[in-house]
Amino acid sequence: MKAVILAANLSIRLSPFIETRCKPMIRIAGHYILENSIFFLKEAGIHDIVLVVNHQQDMVRQYFGSGQTFGVNLEYVVQEKLEGIGHALSLCRSSLEKKPFLLVYGDVMTDYNPFLSILQTYSETDREVALVTLPESSKEFGNVYLDHEMKISRLVEKPQANQSNYVFAGMFVLFPKIFELLAEKQNDVSRCYEQMVESNKLQACLWEKGWIDMIHPWHILDANKMIMSSWQTAEIDSTVKLLGHVHIEGAVRIGPGVTIESGTVLKGPCYIGSNSYVGNNSLIRNFSAIGPDSIVGYGSELKNCVLFGNNDVGRLSFVGDSVFGENVKSGSGLTTVNHTVDYGQIACKAKLDLVETGLTKLGAFIGDSVSIGARHTLGPGSIVESKKIIADFITL
């Protein structure tokens, strides 16, 4: 069986990180979303994978290449115009029209391998299968309803109420006849799913473990926490240098070539990527993920944050509940304030829209290649666009 992963779309609501990468190339807990998907597919015995690409496709091609390094065979299909899921899938017809295949939306994450479950359901039923899950709120997703045989009996594409119901989890086993259906429905994949439901041909596979579809920047923190919560043990590469007394507790993972100075405390689960440096007396708290080739200066504290890589956090800084893109440099004394004075819910101004997060703790979201001078304080929910330069804060 082959798999096709849709990795072409541009999701503007993930600004300021989406301008410089496609969503599947966001780094979570030390690995790209797409990397996790490929690992799970390989573990499930799927080695032939078609990647549909467009936005920032060079980043995907340069990292994954032919797939040989990852133990899989990758074929690239370019969706020149972003005309939806059905159109993207239709472009893969020549590679997928002979046997059943897996369709994978490239922007969803799970904490365990979902393909083992969906393939088992397919083998037991010999039907087309949709993975379904029960999120906290299903308002932003198409809702599905199940009958007593776990077949999907109804699909509501745009639910009116903010209710909790089953939703498509972005993974399907489909038969080649889907391509004829796409042609009939003008590549409207939702209408194809509706037709399959009406024909009583779509089986559900219930996913009860962790699942996240990242829509807004703060969902990166949710996904990072979900993945790290599944870690049971510490993993420290043999090349790591712990200089002096370094206190480590919990599921701490440290990549090769990392140097950590004396007096530092690491509270897991947390992650430090390869060739990074952590200065003296720093505190790396739980659910912090520091990408490769990064520097954390003396006496700094990081808490529930994601640094994509090649970051430089100045000494005596506090970074909490925040996401830094690649190549972000900050001077000494940076503070990301992560709550309002009255601990009220925080809103983020993304582009021209003010979005309510529903969270009472949230820091800053800083795009790639931003430079921030010394002694700056960023308010809760701050968004800094890529390549912005914020000069030193100087008091004369």
Return the structure tokens found at 49. Answer: 């994978």
Mean pLDDT of 294-303: 98
Q: What is the pLDDT of residue 9?
A: 84
139 pLDDT tier (thresholds 50, 70, 90) = low
**Cα–Cα dist 131/357, whole Å:** 27
- Over the stretch 179-237, which tens digit does the pLDDT of each residue have? 999 999 999 999 999 999 998 889 999 999 999 998 899 999 999 999 999 999 999 99
159, pLDDT greater than 70 = no
178, pLDDT greater than 60 = yes
395 pLDDT tier (thresholds 50, 70, 90) = low
110, pLDDT greater than 90 = yes
In the chain the first and final C-alpha atoms are separated, in Å, by 68
DSSP strand pairing (128-133 vs 31-32) = unpaired
Contact 369, 385 (CB under 8 A): no
Measured over the CA atoms of residue 224, residue 22, residue 211 and residue 103, the dihedral's sign is negative
Q: What is the pLDDT of residue 349?
A: 78
135 pLDDT tier (thresholds 50, 70, 90) = confident
- Give the architecture-level CATH label for domain 2-215: Alpha-Beta Complex (3.90)
Contact 110, 210 (CB under 8 A): yes
136 pLDDT tier (thresholds 50, 70, 90) = confident
Q: What is the pLDDT of residue 202?
A: 93
Stronger pLDDT, 360 or 12, i.e. the higher one: 360
Q: What is the pLDDT of residue 396?
A: 52
Stronger pLDDT, 10 or 307, i.e. the higher one: 307
Q: What is the pLDDT of residue 142?
A: 72
160, pLDDT greater than 70 = no
pLDDT, the chain, mean: 93
- Over the stretch 23-64, which tens digit does the pLDDT of each residue have? 999 999 999 999 999 999 999 999 999 999 999 999 999 999
127, pLDDT greater than 60 = yes
Q: What percent of the chain has pLDDT above 70?
A: 95
137, pLDDT greater than 70 = no
> What residue segments make up the domains of the chain, in order of their start?
2-215, 229-390
**Cα–Cα dist 335/104, whole Å:** 39
Amino acid at 167: V
DSSP strand pairing (166-174 vs 101-105) = antiparallel
Contact 193, 85 (CB under 8 A): no
**Cα–Cα dist 100/121, whole Å:** 13
Mean pLDDT of 101-118: 96
- Over the stretch 281-297, which tens digit does the pLDDT of each residue have? 999 999 999 999 999 99
Contact 323, 41 (CB under 8 A): no
Q: What is the 3-state secondary structure (H, E, C) of the chain?
A: CEEEEEECCCCHHHCCCHHHCCHHHCEECCEEHHHHHHHHHHHCCCCEEEEEECCCHHHHHHHHCCCHHHCCEEEEEECCCCCCHHHHHHCCHHHHCCCCEEEEECCEEECCCHHHHHHHHHHHHCCEEEEEECCCCCCCCCEEEECCCCEEEEEECCCCCCCCCEEEEEEEEECCCHHHHHHHCCCCHHHHHHHHHHCCCEEEEEECCCEEECCCCHHHHHHHHHHHHCCCCCEECCCCEECCCCEEECCEEECCCCEECCCCEEECCEEECCCCEECCCCEECCCEEECCCCEECCCCEEECCEECCCCEECCCCEEECCEECCCCEECCCCEECCCCCCCCCEEEEECCEEEEEEECCCCCEECCCCEECCCCEECCCCEECCCCEECCCCCC
Stronger pLDDT, 10 or 304, i.e. the higher one: 304
Contacts from 189-195 at CB under 8 Å and sequence distance 24+?
189/84, 189/85, 189/86, 189/89, 190/142, 190/155, 190/157, 192/86, 193/130, 193/155, 193/168, 194/155, 194/157
Count the Cβ atoms, other than its own, within 10 Å of residue 29. 23
Q: What is the pLDDT of residue 201?
A: 83
**Cα–Cα dist 68/25, whole Å:** 18
**CATH number for the domain formed by residue range(s) 229-390:** 2.160.10.10
Mean pLDDT of 119-133: 96
Mean pLDDT of 263-283: 98
**Cα–Cα dist 53/82, whole Å:** 10
Q: What is the pLDDT of residue 378?
A: 96
**Cα–Cα dist 240/266, whole Å:** 14
Q: What is the pLDDT of residue 200?
A: 83
